[in-house]
Amino acid sequence: MKNATFKEKQRLQWQCRRGMLELDYLLERFLHQHYEKQPAAVQAAFRQLLRETDPLLFRWLIAAPEDVPDKYSQLLALIRIH
């Protein structure tokens, strides 16, 4: 899904709205500025990441980044630095 369709990007944007401003900011920024430039594997990991719960996302992105599961480590590092 290198070039996400408009409908797909809208769906992802909706999923980025988590109810925690910090998560909204990090996830939406990655989606709008970096998602389409990423390889298909990273895009798939991002879509899967959006299915995780808010407390887990908060812990992995902000509170305890050392507790990140291996399957998300590369993606979460990208989200944090971008």
Full domain range(s) for residue 61: 6-81
Q: Is residue 49 within 8 Å of residue 16, measured between CB atoms? A: no
* Residue located via tokens 């998602």: 35
pLDDT of residue 1: 44
Total number of domains in the chain: 1
pTM, to two decimals? 0.89
Establish if 12 belongs to a structural domain. yes
Tell me the pLDDT of the chain (82 aa) as tens digits: 446 688 998 999 999 999 899 999 999 999 999 999 999 999 999 999 999 999 999 999 998 888 899 999 999 999 998 7
DSSP code, position 65: G
Establish if 41 belongs to a structural domain. yes
Establish if 1 belongs to a structural domain. no
pLDDT of residue 61: 93
Establish if 65 belongs to a structural domain. yes
Give the CATH number for residue 67: 1.10.150.250
